[in-house]
Structure 1
């Protein structure tokens, strides 16, 4: 062994020791997943999972947004979803369910890349998927990036750099150790988790400890996937939480109320993940806005109706307190009055839709101009407008222009703004 080899090994041991100390004994937090994330909204690229018209209003209250899903997800609809979320006022990270969902565009736009590792599935769901992902990065993603950025590199140098870049990308990624407890979910089917694979609280604790100390997973995720785990979940969370010192502990599944969110956080979860409750807001407002458009056509509402008139109409049409908008907002600990906020957002959405619906009857050239921004200013009102981050306002304006333009470019599947409009629950072209 040469002295250079010995020195390198010494540096390696020192580096590992420093990393271990940072995760255990030192009074520092080296986990790249922020500790103050308590609420994560999962946005699914699947076409059936739609976005509310003014989705940045809702997402500005969450701690972070995760892009990913278990069914009907492709690289294309994942890129489209990132386009709809950039730039948002909250961090947006990527949680791919397949290696090829990661592209140069998603890597550029994601704040974090979270790679799932299923702890109670078959070996293919853990080692196989990680191997396939590593192969894709090393043999396709990185070489393509190097060929685009540094086409003049000699072959041997490019090959060595590809090895380094692959290891670097994986070291920069966040690894997310899943414990899937709902065998009837799409996630369970993907990982081949059945009834015999479900874990007791002690078994879940043991695997979580292995994930933190051996796999060095930054996240441990207890997943009930659309179903609320109840007492079983809180018992499991309490057992896992007592065993972790560095990894973050997240829970996902059936969170649709303030009570459930608080129970999960009180049991020891660092954050709750909410997906279905968010997408149900889009389905709810689609029905509400279609009724508003009918009321506009019938002369019951006017496209320039003031805020108080539309608010009263919304109250007559639905019970706001029992709405999906409230169900989602109530899961966010930072939202003190979800009913009041939901009423304001639903009112703004209906006012925006009335203005867009009226605008769609204008000349196509006018549809794509500055009117969308003016519609937004009118619909939100001065109080709500003043409280929204400029990045979110820009995102909403861009999305409204896309919705206004989708009738003119429906054959291409995208608007003149470059945004795909199939992710919205509302479409002017169907009216």
Structure 2
């Protein structure tokens, strides 16, 4: 999973939502660097496995973002493990992870695990409410980013705006601050212009919802991200 730092663009697929085989083929042959399978609710072992089976024939890295240990399926290229840094509840930073390692630690492939320092910045988002977050200000976000890199030595700091377009200046400030931790941005990218703008600010962008709203616009974000000036 050391390739993640070399990526620019990732599509996120929601296993609860529907994509035709033709649309999925277009996504997987778009030139995106990888796909992530994950979602906040309605995610089951069955729909995760079904979607993975459809993705597997293509030569695109496929990662599972683990929101529940019950949905972990084998054979993914990697597993993204969120630590929600701005949650008010310790369980979203440590306790769930502790329970997973307690149950499955003997069989875990640690080289496939990528722990993400997650900072959720949209208080209307399902994940914000589900993970019992508070809305941090700019100084808080910068502090979390520094903690992710210098205290926890995490490979990824994920700025999650979840459905709404974020603040490019804040994203750029965080990316410029971190030297060894990869900054991933997700949220509200619905056009090639937004993809280009945010790719100039973050190391990696994640494009999700627009896949199910305007596939043509979503596909254009790939070249926009890869042609950005960052």
Provide the residue aligned with 1:19 in structure 2: none
- CA root-mean-square deviation: 1.9
Which has the higher relative contact order, 1 or 2, with Cα contacts under 8 A spaced 6 or more apart? 2
Q: Say whether 1:50 aligns with 2:18.
A: yes
Question: Retained in 2: the 8 A contact 1:201–1:239?
Answer: no
- CA drift of 1:275 comes to 1.0
Equivalent residue runs for 1:22-421 within 5 Å: 32-46=2-16, 49-54=17-22, 55-61=24-30, 62-102=32-72, 106-108=73-75, 110-121=76-87, 122-138=89-105, 162=106, 165-166=107-108, 169-170=109-110, 172-193=112-133, 197-229=134-166, 233-267=167-201, 269-280=202-213, 324-333=214-223
Distance in 2 separating the partners of 1:275 and 1:258: 13
What SS does the aligned partner of 1:203 have? Answer: helix
Structure showing the higher helix proportion among its residues: 1
Distance in 2 separating the partners of 1:334 and 1:185: 26
- CA drift of 1:33 comes to 3.8
* Structure 2: runs of 5+ lacking an equivalent: none
Question: Retained in 2: the 8 A contact 1:100–1:136?
Answer: no
Distance in 1 separating the partners of 2:155 and 2:3: 7
Give a deviation string over 1:169-204, Cα, whole Å, max 9, x none: 3454111111101111111122111xxx22222321
Question: Retained in 2: the 8 A contact 1:329–1:335?
Answer: no
- CA drift of 1:278 comes to 1.1
Change (3 A) 1:334 1:36: farther
Give a deviation string over 1:16-72, Cα, whole Å, max 9, x none: xxxxxxxxxxxxxxx7143331111011111xx111331112222211000111111
Question: Retained in 2: the 8 A contact 1:117–1:176?
Answer: yes
What SS does the aligned partner of 1:261 have? Answer: helix
Give a deviation string over 1:98-156, Cα, whole Å, max 9, x none: 11111xxx332x11111111110121211122122212314xxxxxxxxxxxxxxxxxx
Q: Of the two, which has the highest radius of gyration?
A: 1
Q: Normalization by structure 2: what TM-score? A: 0.90
Distance in 2 separating the partners of 1:334 and 1:179: 25
The alignment of Structure 1 onto Structure 2 pairs a total of residues equal to 223
Structure showing the higher strand proportion among its residues: 2
What SS does the aligned partner of 1:206 have? Answer: helix
What SS does the aligned partner of 1:65 have? Answer: strand
Question: Retained in 2: the 8 A contact 1:209–1:244?
Answer: yes
Q: Normalization by structure 1: what TM-score? A: 0.49
